[in-house]
A and B are shown apart, each in its own frame.
Chain A
Amino acid sequence: KNEVEQSPQNLTAQEGEFITINCSYSVGISALHWLQQHPGGGIVSLFMLSSGKKKHGRLIATINIQEKHSSLHITASHPRDSAVYICAVRLLGTSGSRLTFGEGTQLTVNP
């Protein structure tokens, strides 16, 4: 079992739909990142969370530390949101400052 699991692996939506991508982890963490990887391959950091909720434009990220779960929501989705969304965590109990990644969620938003 992976230490970080994302669901779904693939998601297809129609423009305008509300989208949720989930990330679950197996042990305590000190921080969780949501990343976006564009079709061209570049990676952009969307959010870094250690508690609560953050919002940027149409994107909202939440984290529930007790349930070891985070969600990334996209409101009013648009074809330009099509990308791979990746969750990454710094697991407590690991040495130094390592990051562990989920396998990513491929999102396709159709016009």
Chain B
Amino acid sequence: EAQVTQNPRYLITVTGKKLTVTCSQNMNHEYMSWYRQDPGLGLRQIYYSMNVEVTDKGDVPEGYKVSRKEKRNFPLILESPSPNQTSLYFCASSPRTSDQPQHFGDGTRLSIL
């Protein structure tokens, strides 16, 4: 089954403790992206990747890192999480660019205390 898998689905952690949210897709898609969703602000793009070793900033990249060492994986790294990064995070992929239908993961709800 074609899917985008995020882990964990839920995480409660404390300020400053490094964490990684994994994202994996099995559709051989070149484009992958991370978004955060906050009440009143909607979805905002954090980082995206056009292919292996090619990443670029979205609208809200501060406090996040990403890597794309393999085509299927696009982890989101919070080196020193802070409470303002408490949010609902989505990973998505598409065959080549953002001009194609996006396939979304189920979301990861992060709470940083």
Q: Which residues of A contact B (CB under 8 A)?
A: 30-31, 33, 35, 41-45, 48, 50, 86, 88, 90, 95-104
Q: In the complex the two chains form, is B104's CB within 8 Å of A44's CB?
A: yes
Q: In the complex the two chains form, is B106's CB within 8 Å of A41's CB?
A: yes
> How many Å lie between the Cα of A45 and that of B29 in the bound state?
16
Assuming the A-B contacts A86-B42, A103-B40, are A41 and B99 also in contact, with contact meaning beta carbons closer than 8 angstroms in the complex?
A: no
Whole-angstrom distance from the CB of B34 to the nearest CB of chain A? 11
By a CB distance below 8 angstroms, the chain B residues around A33 are 101-102
Whole-angstrom distance from the CB of B97 to the nearest CB of chain A? 5
Q: Does B31 contact A (CB under 8 A)?
A: yes
Nearest chain B residue, comparing its CB with the CB of A101: B43
Q: Which residues of B contact A (CB under 8 A)?
A: 31, 33, 35, 40-45, 48, 50, 56, 58-59, 88, 90, 92, 97-104, 106-107
> How many Å lie between the Cα of A107 and that of B103 in the bound state?
22
Q: In the complex the two chains form, is B97's CB within 8 Å of A45's CB?
A: no
Nearest chain A residue, comparing its CB with the CB of B56: A96
> How many Å lie between the Cα of A33 and that of B59 in the bound state?
18
